[in-house]
């Protein structure tokens, strides 16, 4: 066997009728014998250990699960063990029932390659009915425009029993009613605040418009106006002199009446016009134009 240079080259086939020398022999992984190319398979050399690593799986007709048969165990024993432990008949419908397109009249089976989920209604449809008009899509769900906690509290109140015999139900009803009252008052206060803000903004815009129109309609340099009479002056000193001569002497005899002058810019009140003029000159740059 072999050659003078390689005396161990090649081996004889283990099949008795063959006994052929093969320079590239095959070793069986079950019986560990050497075979030639013709007898290398399990069936050709009738290997006695061929079924040791075979995997046989049977599908249970009750639960549609796979049951693996053990080569070293009787199949009847394996089947009885599965029926008494793992078999669940309710799983049969989940495994065998195929998902289909929900469009009426369409019986297309939904698979991985022909299934599309709608972005608006979040339902799966086939390729034929993937567009909204094809499956009559209702569109995305609109958010509720009302106060978010009101409906939740009303539903909790409706779900509570009317009988007050149990103390726990009474306490839960009291908590829900208190929370509903707090939410209602918070909503009303928020709406009132928004209304006040809107009114103040409108009044400020109107005052600004009136001030612009009044200043644009006046002619000349008479920018200082007396708050008690329509007289106008070009300087603050002339306005002070006018207030001291015309209005301060008239207001001294009547001690009981108090006259309040309001700043046309910041609406700050002053009993003395001189203080008002000083305030305008100091805080508003020396002009009382609104």
Would residue 133 count as lying in a domain?
A: yes
pLDDT at res. 163: 46
Averaged over 155-160, what is the pLDDT? 57
Q: State which of 85, 118, 140 marks the end of a domain.
A: 140
Same domain for 38 and 10, yes or no, is: yes
Same domain for 2 and 48, yes or no, is: yes
- 157/265: higher pLDDT: 265
β strands within the chain, DSSP E? 11-12, 21-22, 26-27, 34-35, 56-59, 66-69, 116-117, 124-125, 224-225, 232-233, 261-262, 269-270
pLDDT at res. 212: 45
pLDDT at res. 244: 79
Q: Give the count of domains, the chain.
A: 3
Same domain for 76 and 32, yes or no, is: no
Would residue 239 count as lying in a domain?
A: no
Would residue 45 count as lying in a domain?
A: yes
Would residue 191 count as lying in a domain?
A: no
Domain that holds residue 30: 1-52
Would residue 128 count as lying in a domain?
A: yes
Same domain for 91 and 105, yes or no, is: no
The pLDDT-based confidence of 34 (bands split at 50, 70, 90) is very high
Structure tokens at 114: 């022909």
Would residue 217 count as lying in a domain?
A: no
How many angstroms separate the Cα of 280 from the Cα of each of 49, 215, 237, 246, 283? 113, 17, 12, 20, 5
- pLDDT tens track for 49-71: 877 767 788 888 888 888 888 87
pLDDT at res. 29: 86
Out of 87-96, 106-115, 254-263, pick the least confident: 254-263
Q: Would the pLDDT of 131 be above 80?
A: yes
Percent of the chain with pLDDT over 70: 73
The pLDDT-based confidence of 146 (bands split at 50, 70, 90) is low
Same domain for 48 and 2, yes or no, is: yes
Q: State which of 38, 69, 96 marks the end of a domain.
A: 96
**Cβ pair 288, 224 in contact under 8 A:** yes
pTM metric for this prediction: 0.27
Structure tokens at 130: 């993937």
State the CATH number of the domain containing residue 35: 4.10.1110.10
Out of 46-60, 178-192, 271-285, pick the least confident: 178-192
- 105/97: higher pLDDT: 105
Q: State which of 119, 140, 161 marks the end of a domain.
A: 140
């Amino acid at each position: 066997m072999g050659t003078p240079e390689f005396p161990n080259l090649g081996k004889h086939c283990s099949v008795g009728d063959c006994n052929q020398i093969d320079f590239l022999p095959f070793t069986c992984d079950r019986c560990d014998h050497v075979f030639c190319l013709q007898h290398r398979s399990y069936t050709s050399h009738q290997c006695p250990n061929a079924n040791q690593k075979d995997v046989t799986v049977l599908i249970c007709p009750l639960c549609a699960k796979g049951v693996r048969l053990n080569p070293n165990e009787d199949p009847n024993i394996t089947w009885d063990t599965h029926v008494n432990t793992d078999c669940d008949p309710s799983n049969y419908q989940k495994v065998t029932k195929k998902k289909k397109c929900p469009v009426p009249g369409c019986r297309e089976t939904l698979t991985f390659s022909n299934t599309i989920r709608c972005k608006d209604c979040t339902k799966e449809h086939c390729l034929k009915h993937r567009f909204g008009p094809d499956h009559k899509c209702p569109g995305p769900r609109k958010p509720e425009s009302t106060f978010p906690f009101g409906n939740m509290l009303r539903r909790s109140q409706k779900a509570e029993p009317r009988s007050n015999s149990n103390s726990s139900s009474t306490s839960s009803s009291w908590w829900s009613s208190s929370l509903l009252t707090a939410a209602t008052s918070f909503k009303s206060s928020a709406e009132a605040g928004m209304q006040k803000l809107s009114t103040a903004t409108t009044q400020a815009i109107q005052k600004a418009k009136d001030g612009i129109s009044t200043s644009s309609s006046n002619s000349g340099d008479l920018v200082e106006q007396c708050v008690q009479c329509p007289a106008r002056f070009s300087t603050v000193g002339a306005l002070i002199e006018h207030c001291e001569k015309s209005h301060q002497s008239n207001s001294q005899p009547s001690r009981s009446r108090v006259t309040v002058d309001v700043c046309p810019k910041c609406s700050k009140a002053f009993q003395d016009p001189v203080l008002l003029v000083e305030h305008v000159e100091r805080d508003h740059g020396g002009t009382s134009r609104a």
